[in-house]
Amino acid sequence: MKIAERLHHIINVFWKDHAYVIGLYSIAIGYPYIDTLGYSPFFFREHNAGPVTIISTLCIILLIIPLLLVCIMAGVKRLFPRIAGMVDFGYAIIMSCLASIYCNNSSLICKYIRFDWQETAYWQLCIITTTIMLLLFRRQKTRDIFRCAAVLPIILIVMFLFVLPSASLFRQPVTSRSEVISAIKNPVPIVIVILDGFSLQAILDCNGEIDRRRFPNIAALADTSCWFKNARTVAGLTHNVLPAMMTGTATHLNPKPSSISEYPHNLFSWLQLQYKNFSIQEWRPHITLAPSSINTRVFLANRFITDLVSMPYYYFIFSFKKNNLAAKDSREWVTALFEYSLDLDKWLERIQPEYSLNFCHLQQPHFPLNRNYDGKFYENSKIPVGLDDSFPRNNTSLINLSFHQYILQCGYVDSRIGKIMERLKQKNIYNNALIIISGDHGTSFYPGVIRRGGISDIGLATTGFIPLIIKLPRQTTGVISERQATTIDLMPTICGVLQANHPWPMDGNDLFGKTFPTFDYDINSKRIFYNLFVLDKEPHYRSYSLISVQKTFGEMLQRKNLIIADNLPMNNTAANYTAEAKYNRLLHHDSADFSACSQKAAAIRANISNGLFLIAEITAMPPALSGCPLAITVHGKIAIITTPEPWREHHLLFGGMFPAADASPASIEYFVIEEKQDRIVLHKISNVIYQSRSLLSNVFYR
């Protein structure tokens, strides 16, 4: 009886004096960790961590660490009883501030309260939290509130094991040989490279051909492969497209992460019993279709612990360095963690010449747009151009700037493809392999159209059309196919090349089959842009004319030609934004050919770095010149013509990109273009204020 009473006394003391420590820790640190890891099973798969390691990690994060905190705080208060109240108060404030950062990063607060700068929102939230804490401590209520949260560790463990996508780590289906329905008669090495957010229009010139000047490696691959110039995606979200590609079926719209537990029958699980060698690189934290049995990575405890401990950096320090807490989605920290560690060379080294499946999902040219053609990183300045939550849908100038950055990053992708092809040739794999290069979905850079498309012909043309190049084994002659290919045709095509029957029912068709069906695209909507557009979390379909969409696509190529001159090579290009086609004749002409007024027309505040990236705001425009275009000259020649437009709290905002070797603040001048009957007058802008900042970074150069 005495033992029961003593145990009861210990539990009461712990609940009264120490339970709130665990509760606060669970809210500020435990929940962010488990929420992130729970939505990122990729993290454990990447490290090839087993169930014992995973459960041990949960226990350390949710149970052992908070118990250590309890012991430390109890010891401090016993040694220094006079400051016990201050210790409790300081601990509560620190944990509340950490929880506030996570709320901002997850957009839990800013989703409903719009702030132009999330850093401001964070400090406001911290002040409010501190004030509430002071009031609660004065009334001795803080412990009572957070004491109840001490049960969170148990709840979080249950969620991780049974509710969150991480549950797939413990219920992977085991494929037996009896389930392999179709045998492979023609096994060949398979190389699949998926490019994230890669639009077909990016690699084409105004004539609808591959731009060989900007994309020489893609053009060279097409010369010995089959280019499906009408290829389209079946979804606008990566975690819908990848299952469709790997299963050959039109998957339903699913906002949750895609894992092998949801799609047990896919290319990876089918080939794991028939192929010997695998080199699999899935970079997205919410896509884990490959079974852990073909994970070629070895579990390294030091690497696993280092990556796990580095998580707070991506939450806290990295967020402040970006000056925009919403710019880094908390659940994308794994992506950030592996973005710089994914090594294309290591993936290529694992490729084997025979009986091998080699799959690489490259991040580029997906946002953020921060890559130069040669692979160097640069930042977007303080104006969040190109970010998902802040994309200026109605500011033509910034949309054009983002489009230019996108094309530049697509040029970097071309260099990556060239490196892959070169390595395949060095390993004597190129000739005998089935090589598939495909985008998963496109990206829109047009006023009024959301980044992932829309229910308009422009949205369909820009988001739906993707590059798709397939090289058959021993193919040496290039072919251009007019077949209406979609991403659900990849898996049936692979089956056809391997001379195997479909191991499960598929919606797609073999792109090289003798009889490829024709489609009524108003009826067979799931073959084209299936589940592509989401509005209020519901899928939307529309009847449309394929001819109309393709016509719109051609018009988009002409617009691209106006924005980015076709005759400029990728590594020495300037952003030629034209407000109207009639001003094209001004580009690259000597400004002395036109009347130039040196009067004070406006003031401009600019942020420029290394002559590469410029974003600026005109703070005072004379009423007489309101609405006039702006000309930017480099060394006396007009390089950019654009129209400054308001965006959020900015009065007149515009941007531009220049060759790093040619441009500098001293070489750039700004003129307002005024058209007076038969002549054009350029009003020079004075009072230019530059915010000096080095944005081009060589730190992550590869």
Q: Where are the domains positioned within the chain?
A: 2-170, 184-296+350-559, 574-697
What is the average per-residue pLDDT within 317-321? 48
How many C-beta neighbours within 10 Å does residue 668 have?
Answer: 23
**If pLDDT is split at 50, 70 and 90, which confidence band does 525 have?**
very low
Residue 286 pLDDT grade (very low, low, confident, very high; cuts 50, 70, 90)? low
Contact 264, 175 (CB under 8 A): yes
Cα→Cα distances 85→13, 71, 90, 137, Å: 17, 16, 9, 9
At a CB cut-off of 8 Å and minimum separation 6, what does 258 contact? 239, 240, 242, 243, 286, 287, 288, 289
Q: What is the mean pLDDT of residues 60-76?
A: 89
Q: What is the pLDDT of residues 491-513, one digit of tens each?
A: 999 999 999 999 999 988 999 99
Question: Mind listing the pLDDT tens digit for each residue in 21-54?
Answer: 888 888 888 887 887 788 777 778 777 788 889 9
Choice among 33-37, 158-162, 466-470, 543-547 with the minimum mean pLDDT: 543-547
- The alpha helices in 564-695, defined as continuous H runs, are none
Q: Which residues contact 551 (CB under 8 A, 6 or more apart)?
A: 457
Whether 309 has a pLDDT exceeding 90, the answer reads no
The dihedral formed by the CA atoms of 285, 469, 386 and 328, expressed in degrees to the nearest 10: 10
The pLDDT of residue 257: 64
The pLDDT assigned to 431 comes to 94
Residues 681-695 have a mean pLDDT of: 75
pLDDT of 702? 29
Q: Whose CA is closest to 70, among 134, 153, 130? A: 153
Distance CA 28, CA 101 (A): 9
Residue 327 pLDDT > 50:
no
Report whether 654 contacts 616 (CB < 8 A). yes
Looking at the predicted structure, is the pLDDT value of residue 209 above 70? yes
Q: Which amino acid is at 218?
A: I
Its pTM stands at: 0.80
What is d(CA 342, CA 699) in angstroms, rounded to the nearest whole number?
Answer: 15
- Calpha distance 421→438 (Å, rounded): 14
Give residue 381's pLDDT band: very low, low, confident or very high (50, 70, 90): low
Q: What is the mean pLDDT of residues 258-279?
A: 86
Position 140 pLDDT exceeds 70: no
Number of H helices, E strands in the chain: 23, 23
Q: Which residue has the higher pLDDT, 561 or 165?
A: 561
pLDDT band at 13; cut points 50, 70, 90: low
> What's at 277, amino acid-wise?
N
**pLDDT, average across residues 599-614:** 77
Percent of the chain clearing pLDDT 90 (strictly above): 20
At 573, list the tokens: 């290009």
pLDDT of 150 > 70? The answer is: yes
pLDDT exceeds cutoff 80 at 516: yes
Q: What is the pLDDT of residue 350?
A: 86
Does residue 532 carry a pLDDT above 50?
Answer: no
The pLDDT, as a whole number, for residue 588 is 73
Q: Can you tell me whether residue 78 is helix, strand or coil? A: helix
105 three-class SS: helix
The predicted-structure confidence for 404-458, as pLDDT tens digits, reads as follows 889 989 999 999 999 999 999 999 999 999 999 999 988 888 887 777 665 677 8
Distance in angstroms (rounded) separating the CA atoms of residues 252 and 240: 7
pLDDT band at 307 (very low <50, low <70, confident <90, very high): confident
What is the rounded distance in angstroms from the CA atom of residue 258 to the CA atom of residue 595?
61
Answer yes or no: CATH 3.40.720.10 is held by domain 184-296+350-559.
yes
CA angle in degrees (0–180, nearest 5) for 642-645-650: 130
* Residue of 376 and 176 predicted with greater confidence: 376
CB of 274 closer than 8 Å to CB of 187: yes
Looking at residue 593, its pLDDT comes to: 67
pLDDT at 324 (0 to 100) = 38
Indicate the burial class of 517 (C-beta count within 10 angstroms; 0-12, 13-18, 19 or more). Answer: exposed
Per CATH, domain 574-697 is 2.60.40:
yes
Mean pLDDT of 643-658: 84
Instruction: State the Cα–Cα distance between residues 656 and 402, nearest whole angstrom.
Output: 9
**Whether residue 322 has pLDDT greater than 60:** no
Q: Do 574-697 and 184-296+350-559 fall under one CATH topology?
A: no
pLDDT of 109 over the 70 cut: no
Q: Which of the given ranges, 339-343, 381-385, 552-556, has the highest pLDDT on average? A: 552-556
Q: What is the pLDDT of residue 231?
A: 92
> How high is the pLDDT of residue 701?
29
**Best-predicted range by mean pLDDT among 254-263, 360-369, 418-427, 683-692?**
418-427
Q: Is the pLDDT of residue 395 over 60?
A: yes
pLDDT band at 314 (very low <50, low <70, confident <90, very high): low
What is the reported pLDDT for 114?
Answer: 44
